[in-house]
Structure 1
Amino acid sequence: MRAGAAFAIAATVATSPVPTMAQDGVSESRVRKIEAEIRALQRQVFPGGDERYFEPQITSEQGTGNQSSPNAPSTTAVTDILARLDAMESQLQRLTALSEENTNSITQMESRLALLEAAPAAGASVASTVDTDDLPSTETNLDAMTGGASSAEPAEPDQSAADPQTGPSAERLAAVQQIAKPQTGDAADDEYSYGFRLWNAGFYPEARQQLSSFVEQYPDHWRVTWGRNLLGRAFLDDGMAEEAARWFLRNYQADRTAPRAPDSLLYLAEAMIAMEDTRRACIALAEFGDTYPAVASGRLLDQYEANRRRINCEA
C-alpha cells in the first residue's frame, strides 16, 4: 500500500506541469504569429527594409549565440512573452503615427490638386489675388483699371507731333520719309511693320497713327495682338500712361492666349506705376504672375522683377 501511494504521488508530481507547458506553447505560437503579421505589415507599408522602421533580423546577442552573462537574471516564458508584447505595441504605435502622417500629407496634396484642377483656364483671374472690380472682364468697364476716364475706348492717336498751327516741320517730315515701308506682298503685315519702324525710330505720334489704322483695318489679322500692344507702348513711351493703359488692357482682354497678351498685362502694370496707382499696379503684377507663370519665369523675367522692385505690394 505504501509503495502504491508513493507511486501515485510521484505520477501526480510528474504530470502536473504538462497543462502549463501546453499553455505556454500555445501562447508562444500565437505571439510568433502576431510578430510575423506585424513584420509583413511593415514591409507592405515601408518596402525595402529601412532600418529606421525595422529592427535588425540578427542582433548582437544573436550574433554571439544569444549567450547571456553568468550574472544575468534568468527569464521565464511569461516575462519573455510580456517583453515581446511590449515591443509589438511600440512597433504598432510607430506604424500608427507614420500612417497618420502619410494620411495628412496625402490629404494636403489632394487639396492642392483640387485647387489646381479648379483653377480657371489660362488668362482667367485668380480670385484670391484679383478683384473682378479691379480687373474687369469686359471692355465696357475699362475705367475700373485705367483710373475712371469717361471714355471706355482708347483715344484716337494724334495726327502729328507738331504744333497744330504750323504742322510738322520740314525736318521731321524728311526724317519720317526716310523710314521705308515694307513691300512683302502681305499688306496687313506691311502696315504693322511700318508702324513698328516708326515707333523704333522714336516717331511716336506717327507710329500711333499708323498702328491705329492697322488695328482698325485688320482686326482679325494674326498680327493684331502685336499692333495693339505696340500702340500702347507708343503712348507709354511718349508719356501718355493713361491712354497706354487702355490699349494694354484692351489687348489683354481681347485674347488672353494671344502671343502679346502677357506683354500687355505686364506693360499695364508699368502704366499704373507711371500713374502712381500702386494698388492697381500690384493687381496687374499679381495677375501676370498667376496667369503666365512660364513667361514670368522666362522671356519676361527681367522686366517682371524690375517692375516688382519699383513698388511695394506687401503693404
Structure 2
Amino acid sequence: MLKRLTFLFLLGAATAPLAAQTAPDLNARVGKIEKELRAVQRKVFPNGQPLEPEIVAPTPTPPPAPTTSPIADLTARVDAIEAQVRGITAQAEQNDHRIAQLEDQVKQLVADAQARAAAPAPAPAAAAPSQDAAATAASAPTGIERPQTGDAAEDGYLYGFRLWQAKMYPEAETELKRVADQYPNHRRASYAQNLLGRAYLDEGKPALAAVALYDSYKKWPQGERAAESLYWLGQALTELKKPADACKVYAQFTDDYGATAAASLKAQVAAGRKRAKCA
C-alpha cells in the first residue's frame, strides 16, 4: 500500500507547478503530505528502507481532451493522498498500541509467575509412593541420546526436542532455554524458544508458557516459529482465563502473518479464536 501511495504522491508532485500557478494553497497541502509521508515511512520502515514505486510510469502519450480543469484533477488527487496517509498513520498507531498492551500483559504474567515461584512449597507428606507414582517413575524414558553433528545449537535443539517428546519437561526446558540464550542468531533459536513455551504449557505452567512464547515472537519476529508462537501464546492465555487477551494475540497473528502462514496454522488460529469466543 505504501508503494502505491508513493507512486500517487510522485504523480501529484509532478503536476505541482501547474497547481502553484492557479491555487497556491495546494503547495502548502503537498508540503504537509510530504512531512506526513516521511513520518509514516520512519514508523513503518525504522531501518530507513526506501520506498519505490510499485509500477513504472508508461511512455507518455498525447493526453486526451480534459473533461475537468487541471486544478480540479490535482485537488482530487491531493485529497485522495491525504486520506491514504491518514489511514496508514492510524493503522500504525493501532498496531503500536496493541503491541504495548501485549507487553504490559506479559510483564504482569512474569510478575505473577515469579511470585508463585517464590512462594514456599508445602512440605510433602511422609508416605510411601503410590503404586501409580512408582509405575510412572519406572516407565520414564532414560538415556536420551544427544546428537553430535558439530553444530552445537542444532545438537542442543534436537536434544531438547527429544527430551520434550519423551515428556521429560524440566530437562527439555533447561536445554531449550540454553540454546535460545546462547545462540540467539542461529535459526534454531526461534525453534528452541517456541518449544520452550510449549513444554511449559504441556507441563501445566501456562503463565511461564505465555512469557516464553511472547519472547519468541518479540525477539525473533521473522523466525521460522514466530507465527506458531503467537498461536500457542493465544492458547496459553486462554488457559489462564484471559480470552480477551488471547483474541488480541490472534488479531496480531492475522496482521503479521495472515498472508504468509501455512493453511494448517491458520486453521489452528481459527479454532483458537472460536475457543476464546473472539468476535
> For this structure pair, what is the TM-score category when the shorter chain's length is used for normalisation?
0.5 to 0.7
Q: Identical aligned pairs, as a percentage?
A: 34
CA distance in 1, matches of 2:111, 2:243: 15
Find 2:191's aligned residue among 226, 230, 238: 226
* Residues 206-229 of structure 1, C-alpha deviations (whole Å, 9 max, x = no match): 211221233344344331111111
Find 1:206's aligned residue among 171, 178, 181: 171
Structure 2 CA distance for partners of 1:261 and 1:214, relative to 1, 3 Å: same
* Residues 38-93 of structure 1, C-alpha deviations (whole Å, 9 max, x = no match): xxxxx757xxxxxxxxxxxxxxxxxxxxxxxxxxxxxxxxxxxxxxxxxxxxxxxx
Aligned residue pairs, count: 206
CA distance in 1, matches of 2:211, 2:261: 22
CA distance in 2, matches of 1:216, 1:295: 27
Q: Would the aligned equivalents of 2:160 and 2:172 in 1 still touch at CA under 8 Å?
A: yes
Residue 152 of structure 2 corresponds to 187
Q: Would the aligned equivalents of 2:209 and 2:236 in 1 still touch at CA under 8 Å?
A: yes
Find 2:95's aligned residue among 119, 126, 136: 126
Residue 143 of structure 1 corresponds to 107
Residue 243 of structure 1 corresponds to 208
Confirm or deny that 1:292 pairs with 2:264: no
CA distance in 2, matches of 1:189, 1:125: 38
Structure 2 CA distance for partners of 1:107 and 1:202, relative to 1, 3 Å: farther
CA distance in 1, matches of 2:138, 2:183: 26
Residue 111 of structure 1 corresponds to 83
CA distance in 2, matches of 1:213, 1:294: 32
Secondary structure of 1:294 counterpart: coil
The aligned amino acid for 1:136 is: E
The aligned amino acid for 2:95 is: V
Q: Would the aligned equivalents of 2:113 and 2:208 in 1 still touch at CA under 8 Å?
A: no
How far did residue 110 of structure 1 move? 6.8
Structure-2-length-normalised TM-score: 0.58
Residue 273 of structure 1 corresponds to 238
Query: Over the residues paired in the alignment, what is the CA RMSD in angstroms?
Result: 4.1
CA distance in 2, matches of 1:206, 1:213: 11
Residue 306 of structure 1 corresponds to 271
Secondary structure of 1:177 counterpart: coil
Structure with higher helix content: 2
Gaps of 5+ in 2: 1-63, 118-124
Structure-1-length-normalised TM-score: 0.52
